[in-house]
Homo-oligomer: A and B are copies of this chain.
């Protein structure tokens, strides 16, 4: 099942450059792990914002939650989750 997830990052002001770099590196590794295994289908940057719009294809809400909470930056993000389903006007057979 498909989710559209928007993640807006709010890095704490008290973090120094080094801590930020460490989190970003670990964040990259986690998201790329799930891109390679296929759950994380699309990861787009919203132009001009420190936020992304992602399309995730998972077995259940529990799996979605597991993936998102595994992101090191999870506690520092405002996350919007939308459950997607087939649109009657969509001509594609599959949703991705």
- Write the residues of chain A forming the contact surface with B, with a CB cutoff of 8 angstroms: 1-5, 11-14, 27-28, 31-32, 35-36, 42-50, 52-53, 60-62, 64-65, 68-69, 74-76, 79, 81-92, 95-96
Interface SS majority for chain A: mixed
Question: Judging by beta carbons under 8 Å apart, are A92 and B35 in contact?
Answer: yes
Determine how close the nearest CB of chain B comes to the CB of A42; give it in whole angstroms: 7
Q: Is the CB of A48 within 8 A of B92?
A: no
Closest to A84 in B: B44
Question: Considering the chains assembled together, what is the distance between the CA atoms of A69 and B85 in angstroms?
Answer: 13
Residues of chain B within 8 A (CB-CB) of A88 are 28, 45
Instruction: State A12–B62 Cα separation when bound (angstroms).
Output: 25
CB-nearest residue of chain B to A52 = B87
Q: For the complex formed, measure the closest distance between the CB of A27 and the CB atoms of chain B, giving whole angstroms.
A: 7
26 A-B pairs with CB atoms under 8 Å apart are: A3-B83, A5-B48, A13-B13, A13-B14, A28-B88, A32-B89, A35-B89, A42-B90, A42-B96, A43-B87, A43-B90, A43-B92, A44-B85, A44-B86, A44-B87, A45-B85, A45-B88, A46-B84, A47-B65, A47-B84, A48-B65, A50-B69, A50-B74, A53-B82, A64-B83, A81-B83
